Amino acid sequence: MVFRKPPDGGWGWVIVVVSFFTQFLCYGSPLAVGVLYVEWLDAFGEGKGKTAWVGSLANGIGLLASPVCSICVSSFGARPVAIFSGFMVAGGLMMSSFAPNIYFLYVSYGIVVGLGCGLLYTATVTITCHYFDKRRGLALGLISTGSSVGLFIYAALQRELIDLYGLDGCLLIVGALSLNILACGSLMRPLESSDSPPPEKSCVDKVPDQYFVYHEKEKTVEENISILDKGYIDEKCANNMPDYKQDSILNKNVLSSINVNEKDTYKKKVVEQTNFCKQLAKRKWQLYLNYWEETVVLFKNKVFSALFVAILLFDIGGFPPSLLMEDVARSANINEDDYPVPLISIIGIMTAVGKLILGILADFKWVNTLYLYVTTLLMMGVALLAIPFAKSYLTLAMLSGILGFLTGNWSIFPYVTTKTVGIEKLTHAYGILMFFAGLGNSLGPPIVGWFYDWTQEYDTAFYFSGFCVLLGGFLLLLAALPCWNACTSQSSKLPPNTYSYKVASSA
């Protein structure tokens, strides 16, 4: 399939709109799961740690399965994956309304909805990148705000639906709303060229030459045919001999009846297939070797290693507030009637604002995005440590706004990764980091919930969360200090990198 040059407009703006609403519809409920979390605690009577697994799985499983999601979009295209994932999200939400216990929710809401969201995120980002090149940053920024706006609206929407129709009715209605993803997905028209494609290469020729690992001399077709002579004759004889006792007589009859052209054609086909399978296996093996060698090279970069630890600790400590803040207010004996706007809604709208402002700051040449990211981590750690001292709605609302704004640092994370490893290694490095981000999302809320079950208060839990985020920020700051660059410049130059990193052409 040949793709045209990204138009940077035209139908691309339709793609931006439908991608925005796709993320709005699919991520609205999982990000605002804190409203449902309180209801599930009352409905099933389980511990906070066990109940928190539902929301953490829904938000983490998509990141954990990001390699699988990428393969699906690459294999089937953004439109089919978006439509199929729309059924997954809607079906998972509707199934959750019939959940008899918390374990059913682990599958219906945590895995089914979470995996559907991961597929939709990959599909929307991929199709948007196909349609935009020069304005790609703007387009991606616009569609990423869909999840934040969804969090803001769905927090209040789910709360109102629960009051009117109960928890089960809320999930059924939210699931029905998610069916609109099908309409959005149907508009994700692939960017294909109407011109005739270039001559098709053979399957082996499609594999890049740099992935050769073996350099031994290959046998010619004639040499391979001579090796096959005996095996071919034996096969023909075995297929035509009814009685093994008459070997000497039947061998002569069979050999005399073989057509010479048929024999040569058969042997050449066998040799070609054998060589093809051999070369393909070698090159596939080289792909795996290159992948692991590139991974080792990435982790030799101390800033990347610190970034991997920082993103893991950030999601373990920084994600729980968006899930547990409503229960924190209830544990502080704050009546729901005392605050007009849900705390989760404040987090959502401020996350959108943070993504926008931090993204604009990252575009200034005088701003070091790595230090900007470290600053957001340190400030978030301090804000998390302040949560135990908040005993009123006003203070919790202020902290929710600060935490939401700082959570917007997701918009500059690709910039930080690019600055750390370079654009040629971005795809590989970003995939690794997103996997560990999903791991942190999955582990953070249950850990905080277990702390509450153990101590019967959230104070210790948020001290732990703040410590995790501060530790990640300080480690990344230490690894990014300029003194390391000074030491590196005095050392001998490293040999040139021999590994191949392919970047999609913008032409």
Determine the pLDDT at residue 70. Answer: 74
Distance, in Å, from the CA atom of 429 to the CA atom of 135, rounded to the nearest integer, reads 23
Per-residue three-class SS string for 114-142: HHHHHHHHHHHHHHHHHHCCCCHHHHHHH
User: Under a CB-based contact definition with an 8 Å cutoff, are residues 471 and 97 in contact?
Assistant: no
pLDDT beyond 70 at 194? no
* 326 inside domain: yes
Nearest to 350 by CA among 151, 139, 141, 59: 151
Domain boundary among 194, 227, 245: 194
pLDDT value for 186: 92
**334/409 Cα distance (integer angstroms):** 30
Single-letter amino acid code for the residue at 382: V
3-state SS string for 169-191: HHHHHHHHHHCHHHHHHHCCCCC
pLDDT of residue 421: 79
432 in a structural domain: yes
Whole-number mean pLDDT of the chain? 77
Spatial distance between the Cα atoms of 400 and 349, rounded to a whole number of angstroms: 10
Q: Which residue has the higher pLDDT, 205 or 324?
A: 324
Domain boundary among 194, 215, 236: 194
* Under 8 Å between Cβ of 135 and 8: yes
User: Rounded mean pLDDT of 447-454?
Assistant: 84
Average pLDDT over residues 461-489: 80
CB 36 within 8 A of CB 163: no
The whole-number pLDDT of residue 496 equals: 44
pLDDT value of position 263: 58
Q: What is the pLDDT of residues 412-437, one digit of tens each?
A: 787 787 778 776 676 677 777 878 88
Residue with tokens 């101590």: 455
> Mean pLDDT across the stretch 214-232?
49
Distance between CA atoms of 23 and 50, rounded to whole angstroms? 27
Which helix H or strand E contains 145, and what residues bound it? helix 136-178
The answer on pLDDT for 211 being more than 50 is: no
Q: What is the DSSP string of 6-29?
A: P-SSTHHHHHHHHHHHHHHHHHHH
Q: Average pLDDT for residues 473-496, to the nearest whole number? A: 64
> CATH code at 33?
1.20.1250.20
Instruction: Annotate 315-335 with DSSP letters as a single string.
Output: HHHHSHHHHHHHHHHHHTT--
Of the candidates 367, 399, 371, 384, which has an alpha carbon nearest to the alpha carbon of residue 315?
A: 384
Cα–Cα dist 3/190, whole Å? 9
- Residues 139-171 have pLDDT tens digits of 777 888 888 889 889 988 998 999 999 999 999
**Span 361-383, pLDDT tens digits:** 877 788 888 899 999 999 999 99
In a domain, 235, yes or no: no
- At 318 the pLDDT is 85
Same domain, residue pair 306 and 189 = no
Nearest CA to 39 among 444, 330, 453, 459?
330
Residue 112 DSSP code: I
Segment of 128-132, 250-254, 498-502 carrying the highest mean pLDDT: 128-132
Residues 468, 286: contact at Cβ < 8 Å?
A: no
Average pLDDT over residues 397-416: 86
- What residue numbers bound the domain in which 384 lies? 301-483
For 200-342, where are the alpha helices, taking DSSP H only? 221-240, 247-257, 260-300, 302-318, 320-331
Query: What domain count does the chain have?
Result: 2
Most confident of 5-9, 33-37, 107-111, 293-297: 107-111
**pLDDT tens-digit readout, 224-265:** 555 445 554 554 444 554 544 445 554 555 545 555 555 566
Ramachandran bin of 11, using left for φ above 0, alpha for ψ from -120 to 50, beta for the remaining angles: alpha
Q: Are 22 and 47 in contact (CB under 8 A)?
A: no
More confident residue, 223 or 289: 289
Tens digits of residue pLDDT in 95-111 = 999 999 999 999 999 99
In a domain, 333, yes or no: yes
Rounded to a whole number of angstroms, the distance between the first and last alpha carbons of the chain is: 15
Tens digits of residue pLDDT in 295-312: 777 778 888 888 889 989
Contacts of 196 (CB under 8 A, 6+ apart): none
Q: For the chain, what percent of residues have pLDDT higher than 70?
A: 74
Residue among 405, 282, 426 at smallest CA distance from 346 = 405
Answer whether residue 257 is part of any domain: no
Whether the predicted pLDDT of 116 surpasses 90: yes
307 neighbors 417 (Cβ within 8 angstroms): yes
Q: Name the pLDDT band for 325 (thresholds 50, 70, 90).
A: confident
Asked if residue 272 belongs to a domain, the reply is: no
Q: Where are the alpha helices (DSSP H) in 332-455?
A: 343-362, 369-386, 393-407, 413-421, 426-455
- The pLDDT confidence band at residue 212, using thresholds 50, 70 and 90, is very low
pLDDT above 90: percentage of residues in the chain: 23
Task: Flag whether 99 is in a domain.
Answer: yes
- Domain check: are 9 and 154 in the same one? yes
pLDDT at 218: 47
Q: Is the model's pLDDT at 178 over the cut of 90?
A: yes
Rg for the chain, CA atoms, rounded: 29
Q: Scanning the structure block, which residue is given the tokens 């001559």?
A: 199
Report whether pLDDT(68) > 90: no
Tokens of 267: 């042997």
The pLDDT assigned to 261 comes to 58
Span of 178-182, 293-297, 389-393, 484-488 with lowest mean pLDDT: 484-488
Assess whether pLDDT exceeds 50 at residue 499: no
Q: How far is CA 362 from CA 93, 115, 139, 147, in A?
A: 37, 31, 16, 21
Domain membership flag for residue 288: no
Q: Kindly compute the dihedral angle of the four CA atoms of residues 432, 435, 439, 445, in this order, to the nearest 10 degrees.
A: 120
pLDDT of residue 378: 94
Cα separation, 84 vs 75, whole angstroms: 14
Write the Ramachandran bin of 504: left for phi over 0, alpha for psi from -120 to 50, otherwise beta.
beta
- What is the reported pLDDT for 174? 95
Residue-level pLDDT at 241: 47
Shared domain check, 31 and 161: yes
Last residue of a domain, one of 179, 194, 209: 194
Q: Kindly report the pTM of this predicted structure.
A: 0.67
Q: DSSP letter at 412? A: G
φ, ψ at 149 (rounded to 5°) = -65, -40
